[in-house]
Structures are given as structure tokens and as C-alpha cells.
């Protein structure tokens, strides 16, 4: 019995074990926290600019909050953080830009949203407070 074939087999098994142990959250995002937010009419206020207009939206699927500056764009997403009270994603929208959004849950009716990136060739960085204000109209 030689040592070289034994080491080759051992390194093959070790390589498979290392690949199997790698995290796969980015490939299979759950974003479960978003499912705990109440559906209905939500109001978004810019936390940094009090004079900015208030934005209202009917929220059925909370994933809508992930791409506030690229609402209609077809984007790919990469999950950076998927925790019980916070999610962070990076998204890329071919031809429209990209962004990074963090949503921090305070309650099922109140979240803090920080989003930044590039939209239509211009940078953006906005901090929103989003609050459920009632049923959709």
C-alpha cells in the first residue's frame, strides 16, 4: 500500500467536506423577517430630510421595500444578512443601476430602511422610517 493514493483519496473527501460546509444563504434566500410585516397601507418618511414628500404604498409583499429606487426593474439579488429582525441585500439591475438595502424591524408595523446605490447613473442614499397606517385603499 502506498501513501500517495491514500492521501489523494483523503484530500478528495476533505475537499468535498469543505465544499459541503460552505454557507449557502446567498443562493437560497429566505428573508423570513419580511413575511412577518403586516400587509396594508404603509407610509415612508425620509428620516434625514423632513421636507421630503411622504410616500405611501400598498404593501402586499414586503419584498417591495427592498428596491425602492428600482421598483419596476428586473434585478438579481444577493442576500448579505438574513436575521430575525434585520435583512440586508445587494441587488443589480442591468441597465438601471444597483443598490444595497437594509431593513430593520422594530415591530410588524414599523421598520427602518436604509438604501443606497446608483439609479439612472446618479447616486442615492436614503434612510426611511416605514410605518403601517391602515388597510390599503
Residues of the chain with pLDDT under 50: 7-8, 10-11, 13-28
- From CA 127, how far away is CA 115, in angstroms rounded? 6
CB 41 within 8 A of CB 135: yes
Task: Enumerate the β-bridge partners of residue 87.
Answer: 82, 103
pTM for this structure? 0.76
CB 91 within 8 A of CB 75: yes
Q: In this predicted model, what pLDDT tens digit does every residue of 42-58 receive, in sequence order?
A: 999 999 988 889 999 99
Q: State how far Cα 20 lies from the chain centre.
A: 25
CB 91 within 8 A of CB 65: no
CB 118 within 8 A of CB 124: yes
pLDDT value of position 12: 52
Q: State how far Cα 127 lies from the chain centre.
A: 15
Amino acid at each position: 500500500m502506498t501513501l500517495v493514493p491514500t492521501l489523494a483519496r483523503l484530500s478528495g473527501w476533505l475537499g468535498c467536506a469543505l465544499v459541503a460546509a460552505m454557507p449557502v444563504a446567498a443562493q437560497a434566500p429566505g428573508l423570513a423577517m419580511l413575511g412577518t410585516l403586516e400587509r396594508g397601507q404603509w407610509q415612508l418618511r425620509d428620516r434625514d430630510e423632513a421636507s421630503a414628500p411622504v410616500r405611501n404604498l400598498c404593501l402586499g409583499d414586503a419584498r417591495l421595500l427592498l428596491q425602492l429606487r428600482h421598483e419596476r426593474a428586473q434585478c438579481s439579488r444577493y442576500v448579505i444578512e438574513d436575521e430575525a429582525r434585520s435583512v440586508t441585500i445587494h441587488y443589480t439591475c442591468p441597465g438601471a443601476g444597483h443598490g444595497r438595502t437594509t431593513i430593520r424591524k422594530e415591530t410588524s408595523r414599523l421598520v427602518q430602511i436604509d438604501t443606497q446605490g446608483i439609479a439612472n447613473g446618479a447616486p442615492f442614499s436614503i434612510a426611511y422610517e416605514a410605518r403601517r397606517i391602515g388597510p390599503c385603499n
